[in-house]
A and B are shown apart, each in its own frame.
Chain A
Amino acid sequence: MDLSMRRILAVAAGLVVLAASACSAPAPPRSATGPSPTPTGPAVLPATSGAHPVGTTILHVNDTSRPDPWNLDVATRELKVTLWYPTKQKEGERAPYMTPKESELFLKGSGIAGVPSDTLSKTRTNAIKDAEPAGEKLPLVVLSPGWTKPLSSLTSLAEDMASRGYVVAGIDHTYESHVTTLSDGRVAECIACDNDTDPGFGTRVVQGRADDVSFVLDQLPMKWDGSGLIDRSRIAMVGQSMGGAAAMAAMVKDSRVRAGIDMDGTTYARIPKSGFSRPFMFIGSELHVPGHDASWDRDWKLLTGWKRWVVVKDTVHQAFTDLPLLGPFLGVAPEPGVLPAERGAEIARAYVAAFLDEHLKGGRQPLLEEPSSRYPEVELCPEHCGKS
């Protein structure tokens, strides 16, 4: 079960609703029996929009200085890091979206049945596996996925950022996803899911994720040959849901992270009362208009530097991930009235890129200054968006 449902209920206000949600059965996945037929052939991620071909590779790092926060029998914290980066290589084997095993466990964990268990592993990506990185003084973006979601769920966004000249270091936070493949091929499942009703749970998760981020930043120069191409003075972090909350937490903890984006995640990190002046952007679905999630209202007041709060109309919690794009191939019908999946992905790409370009490359981005006729679905909050 993911946190989005709980969040919806929590936002609905009232202890009763929150507590009751903890009691009710997990929301069943949207029916696979909808009228829309499952498309034939594999899913294909949208083409990237930037100038560069994209390469990708996987690293494993192991923090021996701390025990795993979830698996009490593991004395170290092992993390899988997926890198996406610009390359000159145009041809080559496309990287798999997931392994068949990862597809199986992710579908199972998400309660999706009725399609072959390896369906997601057939998804066609844009990035070339283990291609030679190219470029110089590239800014770095750390990427963190939502609760129970593998990092793969943000592949479309990651590829697009890389095509625009960013190195993306995405982290699978072990035991916080339905499936993470470890360095020795073992598969870690969502042990931390056991804890997700505990008070203080979100706070614990983002503290751990902030530690994960710092460790990955420490290790990257040693572990990746291409790290010489990175300009380490230009680091940002982007995350979805719990990953967005983690971006806030990582920035509070580690000053190397200069700018951050939270896509639709309830936040948990304590911003110092003295203020927090590094650039930060909230990108919300309709769950995150002002007044709907007390954590954003709280943090908005504590952000003292460059800040934006955009809300995309007619969107659901997963709108900025790959999941709506993949839904039709999984027999999951979109909710009625929501923005088409491709459009949600396009908007996420455009606003994330504008933010990164402004704060890591320099130069004001008109998209972030005023409502855009190209993206009428996007509202600039809190001043110019509908309270409901």
Chain B
Amino acid sequence: MTAIRAVTAGLALLLAAACTAPTTPRSQSRSSGATVCAKPSGRLPAQTPTTIDVIEQAYHCILGNYYSGSTMDARSLLTAGFVALTRELNLNGRDVADATMPALTGDRKADWTAFEAVYRKVTDQVPDLRDKLAVVTLEAIVASLGDNHASWAHGGGGRPPDFYDGDGYGLGLQANVNGPQVDINPGTALPPLFVTTVEGGAAQAAGLRPGDIIESIDGSAPFIDGKLTPVIAALYPRYPEADPVELRLSRPGTGRRWSVTLKPGVYQRDLATLQGVTSKLLEGGIAYVRLRGFAPDAAERVFRAISRLRTGRTLTGVVLDLRGNGGGKAPEAIRLASGFVHGKVTAYMCTVDAKCEALRTDDTVELLNLPLAVLTDRGCASACEHFSSTVKDLGIGHLVGTRTAGLISGPAEPFQLSNNTMLAFPTRHHLGPGRETIDRIGVPPDHHVPLTPQDAAAGRDPALAKALTLLEK
């Protein structure tokens, strides 16, 4: 359970932070929120332990600034925190007789006072657990928002001491069930579980190949009755998790079945596969551009790649490969869309009382005037879904592949807490160009073309093939 949470937290944190929108001043918002936690600026001093005062600050920070902070029942935050507190006591074999949830009235201030009194009374009896209890309590409060762009960055494993820029950590493989599906959206994964990419490390050393079917993980089936089981989290350990993982594998075509034990660790990755934008010219004058994330300048890099392929020849279309694109800056998604359409709304940013700001195309971007096909999968998240929903809703191209991740609650905005940890969450929620909710639902492709183990083993790319046939029409 911890492992799952860690994977999820890590991913959510990455996504949340990566798609922080340009900050809008919040000073005009509810005054309690404006003063209780501030936007971080510059270098963060060293973190100090989390205390009840930090939790209190976070509680008011959420109520004052979070998307639905003004309307939510604050008791749900305190209850979630208290549940985690009592579970942690129990896990440590140190339950406390006074650890009874105080009566709450719905008055945010009074309820906090009641909560704090019990919290102090309980933690004073287990002083050696104090730091840990504070951490699990605040983690649970943030998790209770059920928002994939809400996170609390604190301590954490950091980086392994032998880490180099570009390295990966883990088993060295990617499977068809990716990070967000492991916990945030488990209902979206389909059996069988199979390897899609061998990046290096233990998986490479053990001779795994794309297409290898993972029949069991540490002796447990990844799917039971077609539903993903929590054991899947073991495929994606995060530092400092280092327990070996046993996989039972089969290789379609050869009938081979065998087991391997893979030890998580730092591994070197092929630097060429890490480049944010790669491109090539395909037959028939089609520009293929792969964009791995919506980093700053992502749109310009895509435009330059297309322009370069266009020099001295006539292009007939563009395939934009956004599979595995975990998002990034919303303005880059808007800018990229603006190469294909002008004068339109690409998304709405809405407050809980349905006041929405329309995000519009940047019509200073030159139109490419090229047919477009976009490849998506369950790894296309956040800003990637902003772009994909724009393509679909505005009819500027074909979406091919599988549904996007459904990880786009809204742009996470960071807030610094007094112990120099960082809380981040959306103050507004994201809706698509048709004012539809994309979060947790994803953007369905126009053409559903999933990858099979046989395709992966043979190096076939049926989604790309489909995209090419669409562009040739």
Contacts and interface: CB of A to CB of B under 8 A. Distances in A.
Interface of A: 8-9, 11-20, 22-26, 72-73, 194-195, 197-204, 207, 268, 270, 294, 297-298, 388
Contacts of B42: 8
Contact of A9 (B10, B23, B43): B43
A20 B277 CA distance: 20
Given A13-B47, A22-B295, A198 B276 contact: yes
A16 B274 CA distance: 20
Contacts of A26: 296
A19 B17 contact: yes
Contacts, number: 113
Given A17-B153, A268-B164, 6 more contacts: A12-B44, A15-B13, A23-B18, A197-B295, A199-B166, A294-B159
B443 to A, nearest CB: 22
29 contacts: A12-B44, A14-B44, A16-B151, A16-B422, A17-B17, A17-B40, A17-B422, A18-B17, A19-B14, A22-B295, A22-B296, A22-B328, A23-B19, A23-B20, A194-B277, A194-B304, A197-B295, A197-B297, A198-B274, A198-B275, A198-B295, A200-B167, A200-B271, A200-B274, A203-B165, A268-B164, A294-B163, A298-B162, A298-B163
B308 A25 contact: no
A8 B269 CA distance: 25
A240 B277 CA distance: 28
A71 B147 CA distance: 42
Given A13-B47, A198-B275, A203 B153 contact: no
A268 B165 contact: yes
A303 to B, nearest CB: 15
Given A14-B422, A22-B296, A73-B308, A195 B275 contact: yes
B424 interface: yes
Given A199-B165, A199-B166, A268-B164, A19 B296 contact: no
Interface in B235-272: 269, 271
A15 B271 contact: no
Contact of B164 (A8, A11, A203): A203
Contacts of A203: 164-166, 271
B156 A14 contact: yes
A198 B10 CA distance: 19
B135 to A, nearest CB: 15
A204 B44 CA distance: 28
A202 B271 CA distance: 10
Contacts of B151: 16
Contacts of B328: 22-23
B290 interface: no
Contacts of A270: 164
B276 A15 contact: no
A203 B275 CA distance: 12
Question: Which of under 10, 10 to 19, 20 to 34, or 35 or more describes the interface residues of B?
Answer: 35 or more
Given A20-B414, A194-B300, A15 B43 contact: no
Contacts of A73: 308
Contacts of A72: 308
A199 B329 CA distance: 16
B158 to A, nearest CB: 7
Contacts of A15: 10, 13-14, 17, 153, 156
Interface string B13-49: 1101111111100000000000000001011101100
B17 A16 contact: yes
A19 B162 contact: no
Interface in B273-320: 274-277, 295-297, 300-301, 304, 308
| Main DSSP-derived SS at the A contact region | helix
A13 B158 contact: yes
Given A73-B308, A194-B304, A200 B165 contact: yes
B146 interface: no
Contact of A23 (B17, B46, B156, B163): B17
B161 interface: yes
Contacts of B165: 199-203, 268
A16 B159 contact: no
A257 B424 CA distance: 47
Given A72-B308, A298-B161, A200 B166 contact: yes
B161 to A, nearest CB: 6
Contacts of A24: 20, 22-23
Nearest to A301: B161
A12 B277 CA distance: 28
Nearest to A199: B274
A24 B18 CA distance: 9
Contacts of A268: 164-165
Given A12-B44, A15-B13, A16-B17, A194 B297 contact: yes
A37 B414 CA distance: 37
Contacts of A22: 18, 295-296, 328-329
B296 A197 contact: yes
A96 to B, nearest CB: 32
Given A23-B296, A198-B275, A17 B44 contact: yes
Contacts of B275: 195, 198
B162 A13 contact: no
B290 to A, nearest CB: 12
Contacts of A197: 276, 295-297
